[in-house]
Amino acid sequence: MNKIANTPANQFKDSLDAIFETSDYLAILACDILMHNWDSYYDHGRNFYLYLDPYKNKFNWIPWDYNLSFSENDTDVIVDYSGETPQQLVKKMQANSDYRSLYFQHICYILLSRFNLEELEAYIDAYAALIRPDLDTDPNKFYSISDFDTNVSSELIVPGTVLEPGASYPGIKSFISERMTAVLDQLSDHGFSCVLNVEEEQASVGIDAYPNPIEDRLIIDMGTETITSELNVFSITGQKVYQSKLVSGKNEIDFSTFDSGVYLISIVKGEELITKKVVKK
């Protein structure tokens, strides 16, 4: 805490990087804010552990208690601590231009590769089906099965009584969809775009994508890469329009039905994210 509170701004990043797994924490912060996990450090200042890795001599952030997530979809990606006691770690990391950029990149990675209905809808449906029978027989459940089914997809509005105020709960699926749109808008307001801020020449060794501009077919050459990778194609607005697996050698992607314009191709290879802008004629 001494380094966080007392290190000068021009030394803050180097000082913190030396003792803390900063990129890992920024990824956790991105998840917390995307899910509006307000009962965490960035808001309530709790529900985490710090673990000192004896081999690296660096602290790791371990979050827990996510049961109060998914409650609002308009929380800004940059935490506004005006009028509140700030959580100094978040405030100072978000104020640092390098950390801020890395944090935004983590948000983009999570949005484009995981936090969207294309990735999560089947998972949500499967787990809803798994718990529904036991929930149905639970005599202590707060709400009906009909309420549960409604809230999987859309907002549940609970009428108030004389003694208890009413409440509304975002649906899990509607939250994800609306949150993705809201966050992309917020990133744009902060001068960052998941599509337009991608480095044009960012690429992994041995991976090539051509031609660019595209007429009908895009070739993604994975070379001798043996890891099965995942390809996602996003429109300029962040909507996923195509998904497939990539294997070693040349992979042909049919762009003939796509509208003319700019697209983002995103390749998830293990823990690596490779992105590139392409243009469809």
Cα-based torsion angle of the residue sequence 173, 175, 180, 186 in order, rounded to the nearest 10 degrees: 170
Q: Residue 11 has which token pair?
A: 């030394």
pLDDT of residue 200: 43
Task: Please tell me the pTM assigned to this model.
Answer: 0.72
Q: How many other C-beta atoms are found inside a 10 Å radius of the C-beta of residue 109?
A: 18
Per-residue pLDDT of the chain (281 residues; tens, 9 = 90+): 778 888 888 999 999 999 999 989 999 999 999 999 999 999 999 999 999 999 999 999 999 999 999 987 778 999 999 888 899 999 999 999 999 988 988 898 788 778 888 789 999 999 999 999 999 999 999 889 999 999 999 999 988 766 677 788 899 999 998 898 889 889 888 988 775 454 444 445 567 888 888 889 999 998 886 777 888 888 765 677 888 999 888 999 999 998 877 788 888 877 677 777 787 87
For the chain, what are the domain ranges?
2-113, 117-189, 208-280
Q: Which residue blocks in the chain are alpha helix, DSSP H?
A: 2-6, 9-17, 22-34, 41-44, 88-95, 97-113, 117-137, 145-153, 172-189
Give the integer Cα–Cα distance in Å for 216 and 157. 47
Question: What is the rounded distance in angstroms from the CA atom of residue 264 to the CA atom of residue 34?
Answer: 21
Q: Which of 186, 42, 52, 166 is nearest to 108 (CA)?
A: 186
CATH number attached to the domain at 208-280: 2.60.40.3080
Residue 249, amino acid: G
Helices 97-113, 172-189: inter-axial angle, 10-degree rounding: 140
Identify the pLDDT of residue 5. Answer: 83
pLDDT at 238: 64
